[in-house]
Structure 1
């Protein structure tokens, strides 16, 4: 899986680009201590923007960008994972084959602040963006005690915290270590060789294997200065791969993804729910919406 907070950022960006709706600013009740940090951050941000002379509506996305079946798959449900992988594999070459399709749904509704900003002149939009950046940093600091320089820095700090806790709580879990080792042995018997048997690697190695393959195809196309593949990115995909070739690669990916699932059935059922808990706990500390 890609880092969850970065996926959330991508989803939020798409929502902002597509946003439209009522531009009226509704009055926002002050959040109670029981409300989540994200709502409290938005309330502080709205007050800060008002103090700088800008309209801003406290807005928290609701719902999820995952379909019900995707949510089941993310929780380690075997049937849901098998149905997903039978078509999408590890979600790599499927991006080329099914690029006109989408499995995600948006139940969050439009962000009214998109239209508020669009109504401003170019100069005002620039000032609005600068003010919003400052207000967001101020709100996050006030509510969570965390210091962030920008939205990108916000997400990067969360990713770093998630990574630290995953190494401790997932790779350090004796039961997960046992299940991951058994999964690796099963895959080896099928002719696959994972670089390492630790839980985090066993959850990601299949997808990273095909991401590397896709990246190398992009490098062979030439015409662009593409660096060698690394697991930490960035990674590229080819722009002129024939559909027949993309489908051939996807068929190979699907087969491996299904073998991976059969060997890791017990592993994923234990690993994925705990992985989600670790990520959500880190996100909550920074006042970020859980993915």
Structure 2
């Protein structure tokens, strides 16, 4: 049973990752994460807790920063929703995101009782703040705050550079007309909404299947357990819809994709290290 997580409201690590992650993050120098992790480990030791300095290893990513790259991806994976069930070992089959390598600190936390875990998490947040101050010169009171900062930066840039782009607004209107003519539901013609419309619809379908499998999920959404054979009809329909969307919006995505990739890269470069990304 796998919980569906949305790191970026997403924009980027949520439900719309297939449309977001694209270009490599531009580097301003050495990767700050190893130093931050070591500071966190030393800080946690001072507080009486065991913490292993851990940096997520680099993983392959699809090229979603160009129209051609998006087309190649969608021909096999659709929006990256049901593909994970059909190609479970394929690192590109998860909405454009690489598979998460388990943090060894998860195993440490699993051994703690509720009271110990609460103390551990509180200490870890304090150590994150220390590392962020020392390495990035940023104040971050918690991981949730870091996510809020990342999402706010992404939303601000998207509003300015995508939804505020007159040419993209005009192209979005044409895309919406084409999709409507093909019988696809369109509830908003705002460029960012249109770009995420398809993936959000299929994620909603996946969530519904997960809710049916796990009715006692306490309001959380889980990825459904599907065999490749069970998921294949969903993926085939998803691929068809994704390609139809892309062809309707060829001009739109040719302009949109590099803009979104640039925004994502800049936001991740500034805020990603706070989340170990």
Matches for 1:102-113 after TM superposition, within 5 Å: 102-104=90-92
Deviation per CA, 1:71-105, whole angstroms, max 9, x where unpaired? x2x21241x32232122111122233x25322249
Cα gap change, 1:290 to 1:195, in 2 (>3 Å)? farther
Which residue of 240, 254, 270 corresponds with 1:285? Answer: 270
Paired with 1:210 and 1:154, the residues of 2 have a C-alpha distance of 28
Are 1:93 and 2:101 counterparts?
no
Q: Secondary structure of the equivalent of 2:187?
A: coil
Structure 1 residues 224 and 50: alpha-carbon distance in aligned structure 2, compared to 1, 3 A threshold: closer
What is the CA-CA distance between 1:57 and the residue it aligns to? 8.4
* Pair 1:132–1:224, CA change in 2 (3 A): closer
| Alpha-carbon distance in 2 for matches of 1:129, 1:102 | 33
Per-residue CA distance 1:217-274 (angstroms, 9 max, x = gap): 34445743565xxxxxx544444x6765532222111111111111222322322222
**Residues 50 and 201 of structure 1: CA distance in aligned 2, closer, same or farther (over 3 Å):** same
Going from structure 1 to structure 2, the CA distance change for 1:93 and 1:6 (only over 3 Å counts) comes to: closer
Residues 180/136 of structure 1: CA separation in 2 closer, same or farther (3 Å cut):
same
Deviates more, 1:158-167 or 1:204-213: 158-167
State the secondary structure of the residue aligned to 1:162. Answer: helix
Instruction: Provide the C-alpha distance between the structure 1 equivalents of 2:263 and 2:190, rounded to a whole number of angstroms.
Output: 17
Structure 1 position 75 matched with structure 2 position 65: yes
Relative to structure 1, the CA distance from residue 92 to residue 60 in structure 2 (aligned partners, 3 Å threshold; closer, same or farther) is: closer
Compute the TM-score of the two structures, normalised by the length of structure 1: 0.65
**1:288 to 1:133, Cα distance in 2 relative to 1, 3 A:** closer
- Aligned in 2, Cα 1:278/1:83: closer, same or farther, shift over 3 Å? closer
What do the CA deviations read for 1:29-61 (whole angstroms, capped 9, x no partner)?
xxxx95465466456546656766889887655
CA distance in 2, matches of 1:128, 1:217: 34
Change in Cα spacing, 1:141 to 1:254, as seen in structure 2 (3 Å) is same
Q: Within the alignment, does 1:205 sit opposite 2:225 as a pair? A: no
After TM superposition, the score normalised by the length of structure 2 is: 0.67
Q: Rg bigger for which structure?
A: 1
RMSD: 4.2
Q: 1:252: which partner in 2?
A: 237
C-alpha contact (below 8 Å) 2:33/2:276 kept by paired residues? no
* Aligned residues of 2:11 and 2:151 also touching (Cα < 8 A): yes
